[in-house]
Structure 1
């Protein structure tokens, strides 16, 4: 019973999540608009990753069958 009294508030607190839109803190503003932009970006646009930060991955490493070059360091284990 005592354990439940301690765990219940922790679970309740852990279940809380922010569901409202992101807004700057009181008294703060969003960063200025990037060079060439007509208006500043909103919070959601600022959170988007640019392609260099999260590049697309290619599953296929080789497009054609290629013979591997001889590896001089691929030696059998010593006896």
Structure 2
């Protein structure tokens, strides 16, 4: 019973550690410089946003059932 209480208290403490304030650079540091050719410096939210190339959507249909694999001509034994 005591272990469950300790685990529950630890989970509650960890749940309260989330960031609720907007991101800012540490004291004495500045934001990264603007990329070459950009008109303005990117904000923290813009730096954290991923573009489509960084996280592409899956376009391959997953197999729903077991199927026999075709012979792979490049699957050679080690020499």
Normalized against structure 1, the TM-score is what? 0.59
Structure 2, gaps ≥5 residues long: 62-69, 74-79
Higher relative contact order (CA 8 A, sep 6+): 1
The verdict on how the C-alpha distance between 1:71 and 1:33 changes in structure 2, with shifts beyond 3 A counting, is same
Larger Rg over CA atoms: 1
Runs of 4+ in 1 over 4 A off after TM superposition: 70-73
- Paired residue total: 63
RMSD: 2.8
Structure 1, gaps ≥5 residues long: 61-69, 74-79
